[in-house]
Chains A and B, each alone.
Chain A
Amino acid sequence: MLNIKNLHAELEEDTEVKILHGVDLDVKAGEVHAIMGPNGSGKSTLGYVLSGRDGYEVTEGSATLDGVDLLDMEPEERAAAGLFLAFQYPVEIPGVGNMTFMRTAVNAQRKARGQEELSAGDFLKLVRARAKDLKIDAEMLKRPVNVGFSGGEKKRNEILQMALLEPKMCVLDETDSGLDVDAMKLVSDGVNALRDEGRAFLVITHYQRLLNHIKPDVVHIMSQGRIIRSGGPELAMEVEEQGYGDILEAV
């Protein structure tokens, strides 16, 4: 599904700062891959480059989603093609209602795919059903996007968007950061409910504990802009027990 080959990227503002140094990754439909690694290893940048955030220049390599070149598309086109990035720091947007935001997004994607837009009534039903699973109350839906939300509420709101947009490829950028145990369980349950043969996940995290809840098929260790080791779930346990030091030295 997601195919990344020899991806190199640097900062647009300062081309001396090279962040990705040849990332290779192949995520198949139905799989959950985890990317772990120390701070500054390029994990989050990978998510941003895939979703088309400004500020990065891809200098080499490719990234395709079901064979379609992602890097050539605008962010909204990537989203309509089925890519979803759950943000590490969901953005607060005062003045834009959460419901308005989500309905606009769902209908924009439907329109881009040539599907009929959802009526306000149908959308409301859909949101209510999905929100209930994530214990998101009506009040949170009424408020401006992420404004005044706790850390846990923001992350749940990300998962709600994911559930509504039903993307093919979900990239979760440190979705566990800022979550207490209960919130992590809620968020993980939300993600697990979306696991499906036709959908794949790339879970970016520092810690193994999220992977107790969202069980990965493959674990990758990223360091200095490259994937230096890949393995099964046991690799995450190794990181948890020994830290990154030994693994990095061993390479």
Chain B
Amino acid sequence: MVFPRQKLLAQKREAAEARLAPLALPAGGKWITTAREDAKARLSAMGLPVRRDEYWKYTDPASLVQAEAPAAALFDDSDESEVFDTLDPLKIVFVDGVFDPEASDDLAMEGVEIALLSEAAKADLHWARDLYGALEADGQSPVERPLAIFNTAFAAEGVLIRATGQAARKISLIYRRRDAGADVLLHHVVKVEAGAEVTVLEHGPAGARFNQVMEVDVADGATLHHVRAQGRDHERRTAAHLFARMGERSVFKSFTLTANGAMVRNEAVIWLNGKGGVAHIAGATVGEGAFHHDDTVFITHAAPDCESRQVFKKVLRHGAVGVFQGKILVKQPAQLTDGYQISQALLLDENAQFLAKPELEIYADDVKCSHGSTSGEIDPVSLFYLRARGIPEDQAKLLLVLAFLAEALDEIEDPDLADDLRPRIETWLRRRSG
């Protein structure tokens, strides 16, 4: 039986109304207030997601939507060095979603302008006005993403980055947590001007419930590298949205490493709007038990000669659930598109689950698009080979798990970044198996 459309919309609006009632928009200057009011109105009309939404078929949005953030115990990660620290990045630290000037570096850097969203009223940040909430709004069609609208309306803080040349250092956004029950909202805008290049890193658990939006505009010939590691806190929840608009011959490469977390939904919406653009998005995930991890990706090829690549790998055990929804839409002008998509899960026991929905929608006739999705256990023949050489079973399995994730980690272009992350996965897996 089809659930009547009107009834579904009424239910979603009701959820939005309940969520919005106690909330007030953050204070700010004129243009940001206009953007927030617009978002709030859009959200009231659209409603918040409910389980019956087709786009939330595999992931129950209830805990991301409900009024109170479910409490999430703090996690002691003092057993490892700070992620990306070896790369000497420019650090921008947020504690429970609030900018921490003491812990952060000076925001001045050659080739890049950096400002905070809370300073958005400043006249010289007009470039941000044209992007804030704009890419998010574009991303509401053909699929609704109401949690991102919620973020546009209510995020009080975030970082505005405009790269005008070659960035002198990588920028690391660090999300620390002190509060066990807080909602944290951050909204970032990154504009990479023509020919400029910058790397944006993110790590840390952020909050008990983290709602994040990053809007990215990569102009002609510009390059943006994005690598993030989503904390280790077991009970935290995250809904992250990435919106990227890409110009001619621009390059955008994004990689996400996720360990633990009760609920993670990472959405990415990418438009290849200029000829010859290259977009790669990848993720490696390890989780177990009450762990639900959802990668939802929508890539639109709107211009000819572009390349897109999606590589997602998940290692799941003890009842963990992995979801992948990935779509490549190739519009009629996007001839000579090269699209690739792979999503794979390694299920370490019979209680783990992987749900995948790969989609291709192609209107151009001269394209190369492939997609694949697999889920399976550790290959018994490989395992025997390693054991026959004297490697104990646990250690052999660990080697094979790391090998499985390697294809996704190989997507990180900068070897220093990959070297920072790779040993962490091993430590995390060892700690969890102990």
Residue from A54, A96, A106 whose CB has the most chain B CB atoms within 10 Å:
A96
Residue in A closest to B409 when the chains form the complex, CB atoms: A95
Contact indicator A85/B388 (Cβ below 8 Å): yes
In the complex, what residues of A have CB within 8 A of residue B393's CB?
74, 76
Bound-state Cα–Cα, A102 to B399, Å: 12
A184 within 8 A of B: no
Q: Are B390 and A91 in contact (CB under 8 A)?
A: no
Given contacts A53-B384, A54-B380, A87-B385, contact A95 B391 (CB under 8 A): no
Q: Please measure, in the bound complex, the distance between the C-alpha atom of A95 and the C-alpha atom of B396, giving whole angstroms.
A: 13
In this complex, what residue of A is CB-closest to B387? A75
A228 to B406, CA, bound (A): 49
A93 touches B385 (CB 8 A): yes
Q: Does B404 contact A (CB under 8 A)?
A: yes
Residues on the B chain within 8 Å of A165, using CB:
389-390
Counting CB contacts under 8 A, is B403 at the interface?
A: yes
Provided the pairs A76-B390, A109-B390 are in contact, do residues A104 and B395 lie with their beta carbons within 8 angstroms?
Answer: yes
Q: Are the CB atoms of B402 and A95 closer together than 8 Å? A: yes
Q: Is the Cβ of A104 less than 8 Å from the Cβ of B399?
A: yes
A76 B391 Cβ-Cβ under 8 A: yes
Q: Which of B370-388 contact A (CB under 8 A)?
A: 380-382, 384-388
Contact A79 B387 (CB under 8 A): yes
A75 touches B384 (CB 8 A): yes
Which residues of A, 70-90, contact B by the 8 Å Cβ criterion? 74-76, 78-80, 85, 87, 90
Interface residues of B in 193-233 (CB under 8 A from A): none
| Residue from the set B380, B385, B388, B395 with the largest chain A CB neighbour count within 10 Å | B388
| Other-chain contact of B403, A79, A94, A105, A109 (Cβ < 8 Å) | A94
Rounded to whole Å, the gap between the CB of B417 and the closest CB of chain A is 18
Interface residues of A in 40-99 (CB under 8 A from B): 51-54, 74-76, 78-80, 85, 87, 90-91, 93-96
Task: Assess whether A52 is in contact with B403, with CB atoms less than 8 Å apart.
Answer: no
> A161 within 8 Å of B by Cβ?
yes
Any A CB within 8 A of the CB of B180: no
Q: Is B355 an interface residue (CB 8 A)?
A: no
From residue B328, how far is it (CB to closest CB) to chain A in Å?
25
Q: Are B386 and A101 in contact (CB under 8 A)?
A: yes
Chain B residues lying within 8 Å of A80, measured Cβ to Cβ, are 390
- The size bracket of the interface on A is 20 to 34
Q: Are B390 and A79 interface neighbours, CB within 8 A?
A: yes
Interface residue from A79, A100, A144 paired with B388 (Cβ < 8 Å): A79
Q: Which of B385, B388, B390, B392 gathers the greatest number of chain A CB atoms within 10 Å?
A: B390
Contacts of A108 in B (CB 8 A): 389-392, 395
CB contacts (< 8 Å) of B399 on chain A: these are 96, 100-101, 104
The main secondary structure of chain B at its interface with chain A is helix
Partner of A91, one of B382, B392, B395: B382
- Is B407's CB within 8 Å of the partner chain A? yes
B384 lies within 8 A of A105 (CB): no
> Does B342 have its Cβ within 8 Å of any Cβ on chain A?
no
Q: Does A112 contact B (CB under 8 A)?
A: yes
Tell me whether A161 and B385 are in contact (CB under 8 A): no
The chain B residue sitting closest to A79, CB to CB, is B390
Q: Is B400 an interface residue (CB 8 A)?
A: yes
Q: Which residues of chain A have C-beta atoms less than 8 A from B403's C-beta?
A: 93-96, 144
Q: Chain A residues with Cβ under 8 A from B385's Cβ?
A: 87, 90-91, 93
Chain A residue contacts of B388, Cβ below 8 A? 51-53, 75-76, 78-79, 85, 87
A41-B405 Cα distance, complex, nearest whole Å: 40
Q: Min CB distance, A52 to chain B, in Å?
A: 7
Contact pick for B390, options A53, A54, A100, A105, CB 8 Å: A105
Q: How far is the CB of B344 from chain A (nearest CB, A)?
A: 12
Q: How far is the CA of A148 from the CA of B393 in the complex (A)?
A: 26
Q: In whole angstroms, how far apart are the Cα atoms of A90 and B407 in the complex?
A: 22
Q: Are B391 and A105 in contact (CB under 8 A)?
A: yes
Q: CB distance B400 to A93 under 8 Å? A: yes
Q: Which residues of A contact B407 (CB under 8 A)?
A: 94-95
Residues of A within 8 A of B380 (CB): 54
In Å, the complex CA distance between A204 and B367 comes to 51
Interface centre among B382, B385, B393, B405 (most CB of A within 10 A): B385
Nearest CB of B to A173, in Å: 11
Those of A189-241 within 8 Å (CB) of chain B:
none
Cα A100 to Cα B396 with chains together (Å): 12
Cα distance A74–B399 when bound, in Å? 18
Cβ of A93: which chain B residues have Cβ within 8 Å of it?
A: 382, 385-386, 400, 403
Q: Which residues of A contact B381 (CB under 8 A)?
A: 91
Which residue from chain B places its CB closest to the CB of A109 in the assembled complex? Answer: B390
| CA A9 to CA B142, docked complex, whole Å | 61
Tell me, rounded to whole Å, the shortest Cβ–Cβ distance linking B381 to chain A: 6
CA distance A105 to B402 in the complex (A): 16
Closest chain B residue to A80, Cβ basis? B390
In the bound complex, CA of A58 to CA of B333 (Å): 65
Q: Chain B contacts of A161 at CB under 8 A?
A: 389
Query: Across the interface, which residues of A come within 8 angstroms of B392, CB to CB?
Result: 74, 76, 108, 112
Nearest B residue to A112 by beta-carbon distance?
Answer: B390
List the A side residues contacting B390 at CB < 8 Å: 76, 79-80, 105-106, 108-109, 112, 165
A sample of 13 more A-B contacts (CB under 8 A), given A79-B389, A102-B389, A105-B391, is A76-B388, A76-B390, A76-B396, A94-B406, A94-B407, A95-B404, A96-B399, A104-B391, A104-B395, A104-B399, A106-B390, A112-B390, A112-B392
- A residues touching B (Cβ–Cβ < 8 Å)? 51-54, 74-76, 78-80, 85, 87, 90-91, 93-96, 100-102, 104-106, 108-109, 112, 144, 161, 165
Instruction: Rank and list the top 10 A-B pairs by shortest CB-CB distance, nearest first.
Output: A95-B403, A79-B390, A95-B406, A105-B389, A109-B390, A75-B387, A91-B385, A96-B403, A76-B387, A108-B391
Pairs A–B under 8 Å by Cβ, sample size 25 = A51-B388, A52-B388, A53-B384, A54-B380, A74-B392, A74-B393, A75-B387, A76-B390, A76-B392, A78-B388, A79-B388, A79-B390, A91-B381, A91-B385, A93-B386, A95-B403, A95-B404, A96-B399, A101-B389, A101-B399, A104-B399, A105-B386, A105-B390, A108-B392, A112-B392
